[in-house]
């Protein structure tokens, strides 16, 4: 992995906060606010009205709009003091409105909360989040169904876990992990999950090289404050990431993802469902960065 150039800083000027006014969305907004505050960004609040029945009558549509405006007014009040704007869009699906917002507002980051499993059993995150994660070209911060409630109080991160397989997507994600750790004065753990342990001398040398590569991810100027901690685990990548996150009390996981047959990507030597599984089961927010 190419090391990050010293002095590199992530620029986030425009944060898109997606809400359906559910408890899951309410759990996400403190993170949108905290990140926007750290980076001096504007928060764009977006709610997409998607009729349950495509042929819904005008009266029903108007009622939905009235309810959405009332709920959006509450969100507007919660964001008092934060530079923001609110929008209600209409569409058969969510993605078209999100894609339009990304381009028109030059979005740098999407923040969303997810309910968890839907009636379609394979959609562990709910169709709303599934599509965003699968199609977004910008980083997505997902507050999943298992995130601890007390994690949403301040939206701050104190322990950041960056999992990498040294691929191009992970190179793209690394600056976000370092920058967010810096902005929050957080500890930064760097994790590589190997398929199996190498017990011979060659295997030991390989692990030593991995540890050095993990250390090299963090610029020397950043090492003075974040005290990076390189970690190596063996076995299934998703399980390893989730286990380490619990061990160190991580309150943010950062992953690089790549496109694979139209699905959420993951490490090159592992099934592409790795990142998806982490997002669905993590007890802390997960930032996925496409590379």
113-157 pLDDT per residue, tens: 987 654 433 444 456 777 888 789 999 999 988 897 766 666 789
Q: Where are the alpha helices (DSSP H) in 114-165?
A: 127-135
Q: Which residues contact 196 (CB under 8 A, 6 or more apart)?
A: 234, 235
Q: Which residues contact 273 (CB under 8 A, 6 or more apart)?
A: 238, 263, 264, 266
| pLDDT score of 126 | 58
| pLDDT score of 66 | 85
Last residue of a domain, one of 127, 147, 167: 147
- Do 285 and 229 sit in the same domain of this protein? yes
| pLDDT score of 266 | 38
Task: List Cα–Cα distances, 247 to 76, 119, 159, 233, in angstroms.
Answer: 37, 32, 11, 12
User: Distance between CA 49 and CA 61 in Å, rounded?
Assistant: 9
Residue pLDDT, tens place only, 197-219: 665 455 556 888 888 999 888 88
Asked if the model's pLDDT at residue 271 lies above 50, the reply is no
**Is 4 inside any structural domain?**
no
**Is 7 inside any structural domain?**
no
Kindly report whether the global pTM for this prediction surpasses the value 0.75.
yes
Q: Which residues contact 122 (CB under 8 A, 6 or more apart)?
A: none
**Is 71 inside any structural domain?**
yes
Last residue of a domain, one of 104, 120, 147: 147
- Do 65 and 162 sit in the same domain of this protein? no
User: Distance between CA 58 and CA 72 in Å, rounded?
Assistant: 21
State the chain's mean pLDDT as an integer.
Answer: 82
162 forms beta bridges with 190, 254
- Do 83 and 204 sit in the same domain of this protein? no
**Is 3 inside any structural domain?**
no
User: Distance between CA 28 and CA 31 in Å, rounded?
Assistant: 6
**Is 8 inside any structural domain?**
no
Phi, psi values for residue 88, rounded to 5°? -115, 120
- Do 92 and 171 sit in the same domain of this protein? no
Last residue of a domain, one of 117, 147, 177: 147
Lowest mean pLDDT among 91-95, 166-170, 227-231: 91-95
User: Distance between CA 72 and CA 87 in Å, rounded?
Assistant: 8
- Do 121 and 211 sit in the same domain of this protein? no
**Is 267 inside any structural domain?**
yes
| pLDDT score of 52 | 58
- Do 166 and 132 sit in the same domain of this protein? no
Residue pLDDT, tens place only, 43-88: 999 999 876 555 556 666 677 788 888 998 999 988 889 999 999 9
User: Distance between CA 48 and CA 33 in Å, rounded?
Assistant: 20
Phi, psi values for residue 155, rounded to 5°? 75, 10
44 forms beta bridges with 16, 85
| pLDDT score of 116 | 60
- Do 141 and 168 sit in the same domain of this protein? no
User: Distance between CA 66 and CA 70 in Å, rounded?
Assistant: 6
Q: Which of 51, 41, 50, 55 is nearest to 85 (CA)?
A: 41
Asked if the model's pLDDT at residue 32 lies above 50, the reply is yes
| pLDDT score of 259 | 63
- Do 222 and 166 sit in the same domain of this protein? yes
- Do 199 and 138 sit in the same domain of this protein? no
How many structural domains is the chain composed of? 2
Asked if the model's pLDDT at residue 257 lies above 90, the reply is no
> Is 269 or 202 the better-scoring residue by pLDDT?
202
**Is 6 inside any structural domain?**
no
**Is 174 inside any structural domain?**
yes
Residue pLDDT, tens place only, 151-166: 666 678 999 999 999 9
CATH number for the domain that contains residue 178: 3.40.50.620
Asked if the model's pLDDT at residue 175 lies above 90, the reply is yes
- Do 67 and 129 sit in the same domain of this protein? yes
Domain that holds residue 227: 157-290
């Amino acid at each position: 992995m190419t090391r990050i150039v010293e002095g590199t800083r992530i620029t986030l000027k425009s944060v898109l906060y997606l809400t359906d006014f559910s408890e899951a969305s309410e759990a996400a907004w403190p993170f949108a606010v905290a990140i926007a505050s750290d980076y001096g960004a504007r928060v764009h609040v977006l709610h997409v009205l998607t009729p349950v029945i495509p042929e819904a009558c005008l009266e029903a549509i108007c009622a939905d709009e009235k309810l959405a405006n009332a709920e959006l007014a509450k969100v507007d009040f919660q964001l008092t003091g934060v530079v923001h704007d609110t929008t209600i869009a209409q569409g058969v699906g969510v993605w078209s409105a999100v894609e339009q917002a990304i381009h028109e507002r030059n979005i740098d980051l999407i923040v969303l909360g997810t309910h968890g499993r839907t009636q379609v059993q394979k959609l562990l995150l709910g169709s709303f989040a599934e599509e965003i994660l699968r199609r977004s070209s910008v980083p997505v911060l997902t507050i999943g169904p298992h995130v601890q409630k007390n994690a949403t109080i301040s939206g701050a991160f104190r322990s950041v876990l960056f999992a990498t397989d040294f691929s191009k997507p992970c190179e793209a994600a690394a600056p976000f992990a370092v920058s967010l750790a810096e902005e929050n004065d957080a500890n930064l753990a760097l994790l590589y999950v190997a398929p199996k342990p190498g017990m011979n001398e060659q295997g030991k040398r390989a692990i030593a090289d991995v540890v050095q590569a993990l250390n090299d991810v963090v610029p020397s100027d950043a090492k003075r404050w974040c005290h990076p901690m390189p970690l190596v685990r063996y076995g299934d990548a998703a399980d390893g990431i989730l286990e380490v996150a619990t061990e160190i009390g991580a309150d943010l996981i950062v992953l690089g993802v790549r496109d694979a047959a139209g699905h959420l990507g993951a490490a090159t030597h592992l099934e592409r469902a790795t990142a998806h599984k982490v997002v669905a089961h993590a007890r802390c927010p997960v930032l996925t960065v496409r590379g």
